[in-house]
C-alpha cells in the first residue's frame, strides 16, 4: 500500500456523533483525500450491494470489481474527478447535470470528455450546452444513429451496401451479440466461425459418393426403418437358435398363448402388450417369414421390405446382417458431418456465399468499429462524470465522515428502511446476511433480527433492527411486524433472534422488579402445575381403588399432626420475631421517613442496573452491526440516548373526546368517584399503619393534633391527685 505523502494540508475537524472526524467542506478537501491519514477515515471498506445508494455509481468506484470499495479506490476516484472538472466545489451541490464549460479542457481527459459530451448531444439531436444524467442513461439511444460505436460488433447498419448488410443479418441469425445500439450484430469470432462452418459443410457434402448411399435417396429412411426393428429381429433369430439347440425349448421361446388369452377387451387396443411377444413363430431352420410376423410389428417390417426392396418372402440371419452392414458407409459419413450450424441455409446458398467471399469486407468493418473504441468508452465516461458529480459527495459523507447517519433529514446509505413493531417504529435497520449475536452483542444495542419477505416483489432478506427507545416487554422471537424499504415497498417481517441490551435508564430502573415478578410468576406457575398433577394423580388412584371395591381408610396419626402443628407454630413464631425486629428497628421513625427509606431502598436496588444501562447506552456503537454486514468500520459510530430517540419513534395517543355528550358526562362522573375512592383507601391504609406502629413511636400525621387535645382535657385530673399517691415506684 502506498503511503500518503507528508502534507501540511489544513484539514478541518468536527465532532460528529460524539467522535472527532474530519470535516469535508470544499472541493479542495476532496482533491486532497489522498493526503488524509488512513487512521482518520471512518470506514476502510464497504460492500457495493445491499445499500440505499445508486448502484451504478458504486460499481464505478469499485474499479477492481471485487464487490468491496476500499480507501485506495475512493482516493483514485476523487483524484480523477477533481482533475476532469474545473470547479471541484460544485461537487458539494450534488447536481445531476454539468455545463459543457465545466469540463477542464486543460487536462487531456477533461478535453476528451467534453468532446464526447458534445458527440452525445449530437447523436441525440439535442442543441444545448448542458448535459445531464437523463442524456447518458440510454446507451441504445445514443448509439442508435451511429455506423460504428467501438464495441467490436457490426450490424446491418454498419454495411456500405445491401448485399453486405444481408450477409451480416444472415450470420447474426445463426450466432450474434447485442450491439450498443440495441441491435443484434456479429463479432470477429462469429465471422470466422461462419466461414469455417460453410467450408466444412461443403467438403462434407462432397464426400457423399454413391457408395455412401446404397439405396439412393431412400438410404436415410431405410436406415431409420431397419434401426426400428433391428433389436426385435435379433431377438427372433436368438429364439430360433435356442430351438435348434434344444427342441424342448420351443414352447418356452414361442408365443405365450396364456398371456394373449389374459388380455381383456379389444385386442387392437392392446398393441403394446402384443408387441412384447416374439416377432414371429420361431423355427428351427432360422428363417423369418416376412409375411407371418407379429401384427404389432407388421407395419415396421413392411416398411423395411419396401425401402430396401427385399424380393424374397423369407430372410435368414446372415442375409439380415448383410442388410444391416450395407449402411456402414452411410453411418460413417453421417458421423463425420460438419457445418451443421449453416445447414439450414441450403447447399446452394452456402456455395454462393463462399464464391462471393465477403469475409475480408466484414473483417474490415470490424476493424473500423474497433477504431472507435476509445471514443465510445469516452462517451461512457461522461456518464461516470455525471454520476460522480451527483453522488460522490454523499458517498464521502457516508464513508469518510459518516455524517449522513447523524443527519435525520438525509439518512445513511446503510439504513434500509423502517420497521413497525409493538407500537413503535425504528429507522435504524441494516440489511445483514443473518443473525450474528456474537458480533452484534458487542454493540451494546437492543437488536431485533428479522426475516423480511415480499411475495409481491419475490424478494427476501434479513435485517438487524435496532431499538433505541421505549420498552421491550412485548417483544419476543417469532413476533410478526411490517418493514417498509426506502421506496415504500412493504415486507412481512418476523423476529428470528434478539440481542438483549438496555434501551433506556427508565427501563433499567424497573428491570430488577420485573425480573423478580417474572421469577415469582414462574415459581407460582410451576408449583400450581405440580399441585395439579399431584391432585389428578391422587384422583385417578382413588377412582381406580373405588372401582376395584377397595377403599382402605388411612389411620389417624396424632403424632404426625402434632408435628405439623408444631412446625406451623415455629414458622409463625419466626415470622413474628422477624416482624418484631423490623418494628423495633423502626422505633421512633415517622411515617414520612418510612416513605423516604422505601424510596432509598428502591433506588439502591435499581442503582446497579441503572448504572450498567447508563454505561452501555453511552457506549452503544453501530460499528459491530455494520461489520456483520461486510463493512470495515475504523471509528466508533455512537448512538447515545438523545440521538437514539430520533431513530426510534413511540406511539403518541391524543386525548380522546366522545361524540356523545351524555357518555362524556358519565365518564367524568366515573372518573371522579373512582379517584375519590382511591384516595380514601390510600388514606385509610396509611392511618391504619401509623396506628399499628404507634406503640413503637411511629405516629400518624394527625398525632400532634390529637396529643394537644388530650393534654388539654386531662390536665385538671392530674392536678387533683394527692401528693401522697405519687411514689418513686410509680
Residues 575 and 570: their CA atoms lie apart, in Å, by 9
pLDDT(494) > 60 = yes
pLDDT for res 729 = 41
Q: Choose the most confident range, by mean pLDDT, from 23-32, 241-250, 694-703.
A: 23-32
Q: What would you measure as the largest C-alpha separation in the chain, in angstroms? A: 168
The three state secondary structure string of 539-567 is HHHHHHHHHCCCCCCCCCCHHHHHHHHHH
pLDDT for res 719 = 42
pLDDT for res 572 = 52
pLDDT for res 417 = 94
Instruction: Provide the pLDDT confidence category of residue 706 given band limits of 50, 70 and 90.
Output: very low
633: enclosing H helix or E strand: strand 632-633
Instruction: Give the dihedral sign, CA 4/8/12/15.
Output: positive
pLDDT, average across residues 44-68: 93
What 3-state class would DSSP assign to 88? helix
Q: How many CB atoms lie within 10 A of CB 260?
A: 13
What 3-state class would DSSP assign to 317? helix
Exposure b/e, 79-92, CB count within 10 A at least 16 = b: ebbbebbbebebbb
- Does 687 or 136 have the greater pLDDT score? 136
pLDDT, average across residues 2-19: 75
pLDDT for res 548 = 58
68: β partners = 47
565: β partners = none
362-379: pLDDT as tens digits: 999 999 888 877 777 778
Portion of the chain with pLDDT greater than 70, in percent? 78
pLDDT(556) > 70 = no
Sole residue written with cell 503511503: 3
- Does 277 or 615 have the greater pLDDT score? 277
429-467: pLDDT as tens digits: 999 887 766 666 678 888 999 999 999 999 999 999 999
Residues 383 and 131: their CA atoms lie apart, in Å, by 10
pLDDT for res 399 = 94
**What's the grid cell of residue 150?**
467501438
- Does 662 or 589 have the greater pLDDT score? 662
Strands 446-454 and 490-499: antiparallel
pLDDT for res 364 = 93
**What's the grid cell of residue 496?**
428470528
pLDDT(121) > 80 = yes
60-105: pLDDT as tens digits: 999 999 999 999 999 999 999 999 999 999 999 999 999 999 999 9
595-618: pLDDT as tens digits: 676 677 667 776 776 776 676 777
pLDDT for res 591 = 59
Residues 420 and 435: their CA atoms lie apart, in Å, by 19
Instruction: Provide the pLDDT confidence category of residue 142 given band limits of 50, 70 and 90.
Output: confident
**In angstroms, what is the C-alpha Rg of the chain?**
48
Q: How many CB atoms lie within 10 A of CB 622?
A: 25
Q: Average pLDDT over the chain, rounded to whole?
A: 81
pLDDT(420) > 60 = yes
Do the Cβ atoms of 378 and 136 come closer than 8 Å? no
Instruction: Give the dihedral sign, CA 279/281/282/286.
Output: negative
pLDDT(640) > 50 = yes
CA nearest 23: which of 496, 379, 397, 512? 397
pLDDT(6) > 90 = no
CA of residue 305 relative to chain centroid, distance: 66
Tell me whether residue 619 is exposed, middle or buried, using C-beta atoms within 10 angstroms of its C-beta: 0 to 12, 13 to 18, 19 or more. Answer: middle
Helices (H), 138-295: 139-142, 162-174, 188-206, 219-245, 250-253, 257-261, 271-274
582: enclosing H helix or E strand: helix 558-585
Length reported for the chain? 730
pLDDT(318) > 60 = yes
Write out the DSSP string of 117-172: HHHHHHHTT---SEEEHHHHS-HHHHSTT-S--SSS-B-GGG-SSHHHHHHHHHHH
Q: Out of 59-68, 542-551, 624-633, pick the least confident.
A: 542-551
Q: How far is CA 573 from CA 253, 455, 560, 587, in A?
A: 106, 68, 20, 21
pLDDT(483) > 90 = yes
Helix count and strand count (H, E) for the chain:
26, 19
Amino acid at each position: 500500500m502506498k503511503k500518503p505523502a507528508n502534507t501540511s494540508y489544513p484539514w478541518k475537524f468536527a465532532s460528529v456523533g460524539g467522535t472527532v472526524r474530519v470535516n469535508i467542506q470544499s472541493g479542495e478537501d476532496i482533491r486532497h483525500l489522498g493526503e488524509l491519514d488512513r487512521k482518520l477515515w471512518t470506514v476502510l471498506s464497504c460492500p457495493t450491494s445491499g445499500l440505499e445508494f445508486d448502484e451504478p455509481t458504486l460499481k464505478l468506484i469499485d474499479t477492481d470489481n471485487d464487490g468491496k470499495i476500499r480507501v485506495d479506490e475512493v482516493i483514485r476516484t476523487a483524484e480523477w474527478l477533481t482533475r476532469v472538472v474545473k470547479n471541484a466545489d460544485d461537487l458539494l451541490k450534488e447536481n445531476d447535470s454539468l455545463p459543457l464549460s465545466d469540463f477542464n479542457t486543460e487536462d487531456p481527459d477533461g478535453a476528451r470528455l467534453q468532446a464526447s459530451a458534445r458527440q452525445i448531444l449530437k447523436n441525440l439531436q439535442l442543441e444545448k450546452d448542458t448535459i445531464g444524467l437523463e442524456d447518458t442513461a440510454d446507451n441504445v439511444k445514443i448509439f442508435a444513429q451511429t455506423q460504428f460505436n467501438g464495441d467490436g460488433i457490426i450490424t446491418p447498419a454498419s454495411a456500405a451496401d445491401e448485399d453486405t448488410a444481408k450477409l451480416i443479418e444472415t450470420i447474426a441469425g445463426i450466432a450474434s451479440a447485442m450491439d450498443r445500439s440495441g441491435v443484434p450484430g456479429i463479432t470477429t469470432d462469429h465471422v470466422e466461425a461462419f466461414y469455417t462452418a460453410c467450408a466444412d459443410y461443403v467438403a462434407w457434402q462432397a464426400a457423399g459418393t454413391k457408395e455412401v448411399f446404397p439405396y439412393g435417396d431412400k438410404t436415410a429412411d431405410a436406415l431409420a426403418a431397419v434401426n426400428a426393428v433391428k433389436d426385435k429381429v435379433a431377438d427372433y433369430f436368438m429364439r430360433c437358435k435356442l430351438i435348434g439347440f434344444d427342441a424342448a425349448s420351443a414352447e418356452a421361446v414361442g408365443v405365450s398363448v396364456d398371456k394373449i388369452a389374459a388380455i381383456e377387451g379389444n385386442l387392437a387396443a392392446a398393441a403394446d402388450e402384443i408387441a412384447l411377444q416374439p416377432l414371429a413363430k420361431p423355427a428351427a431352420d432360422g428363417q423369418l417369414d416376412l409375411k407371418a410376423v407379429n401384427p404389432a410389428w407388421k407395419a415396421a417390417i413392411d416398411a423395411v421390405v419396401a425401402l430396401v426392396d427385399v424380393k424374397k418372402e423369407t430372410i435368414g440371419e446372415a442375409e439380415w446382417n448383410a442388410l444391416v452392414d450395407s449402411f456402414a458407409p452411410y453411418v460413417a459419413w453421417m458421423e463425420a458431418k460438419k457445418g451443421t450450424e449453416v445447414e439450414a441455409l441450403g447447399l446452394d446458398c452456402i456455395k454462393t456465399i463462399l464464391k462471393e467471399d465477403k469475409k475480408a469486407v466484414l473483417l474490415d468493418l470490424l476493424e473500423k468499429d474497433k477504431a472507435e473504441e476509445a471514443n465510445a468508452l469516452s462517451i461512457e465516461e461522461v456518464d461516470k462524470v455525471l454520476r460522480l458529480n451527483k453522488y460522490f459527495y454523499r458517498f464521502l459523507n457516508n464513508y469518510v465522515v459518516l455524517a449522513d447517519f447523524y443527519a435525520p433529514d438525509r439518512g445513511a446509505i446503510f439504513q434500509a428502511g423502517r420497521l413497525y413493531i409493538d407500537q413503535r417504529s425504528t429507522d435504524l435497520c441494516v440489511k445483514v446476511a443473518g443473525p450474528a449475536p456474537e458480533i452484534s452483542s458487542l454493540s451494546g444495542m437492543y437488536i431485533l433480527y428479522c426475516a423480511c419477505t415480499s411475495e409481491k416483489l419475490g424478494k427476501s432478506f434479513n435485517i438487524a433492527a435496532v431499538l433505541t427507545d421505549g420498552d421491550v416487554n412485548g417483544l419476543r422471537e417469532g413476533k410478526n411486524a411490517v418493514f417498509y424499504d426506502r421506496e415504500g415497498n412493504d415486507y412481512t417481517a418476523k423476529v428470528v433472534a434478539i440481542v438483549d441490551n438496555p434501551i433506556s435508564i427508565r427501563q433499567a430502573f424497573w428491570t430488577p422488579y420485573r425480573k423478580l415478578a417474572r421469577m415469582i410468576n414462574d415459581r407460582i406457575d410451576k408449583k400450581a402445575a405440580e399441585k395439579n398433577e399431584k391432585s389428578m394423580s391422587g384422583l385417578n388412584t382413588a377412582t381406580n381403588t373405588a372401582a376395584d371395591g377397595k377403599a382402605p381408610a388411612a389411620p389417624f396419626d396424632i403424632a404426625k399432626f402434632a408435628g405439623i402443628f408444631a412446625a406451623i407454630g415455629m414458622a409463625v413464631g419466626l415470622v413474628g420475631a422477624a416482624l418484631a425486629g423490623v418494628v423495633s428497628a423502626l422505633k421512633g421513625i415517622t411515617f414520612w421517613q418510612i416513605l423516604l427509606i422505601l424510596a432509598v431502598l428502591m433506588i439502591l436496588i435499581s442503582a446497579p442496573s441503572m448504572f450498567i444501562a447508563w454505561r452501555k447506552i453511552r457506549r452503544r456503537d453501530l460499528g459491530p452491526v455494520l461489520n456483520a454486514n461486510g463493512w470495515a468500520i475504523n471509528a466508533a459510530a455512537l448512538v447515545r440516548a438523545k440521538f437514539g430517540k430520533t431513530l426510534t419513534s413511540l406511539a403518541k395517543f391524543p386525548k380522546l373526546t366522545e361524540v356523545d355528550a351524555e357518555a362524556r358526562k358519565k365518564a367524568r362522573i366515573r372518573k371522579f368517584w373512582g379517584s375519590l375512592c382511591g384516595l380514601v383507601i390510600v388514606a385509610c391504609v396509611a392511618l391504619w399503619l401509623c396506628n399499628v406502629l404507634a406503640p413503637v413511636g411511629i405516629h400518624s400525621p394527625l398525632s400532634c393534633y390529637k396529643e394537644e387535645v388530650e393534654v388539654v382535657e386531662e390536665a385538671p385530673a392530674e392536678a387533683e391527685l394527692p401528693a401522697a399517691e405519687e411514689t418513686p415506684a410509680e
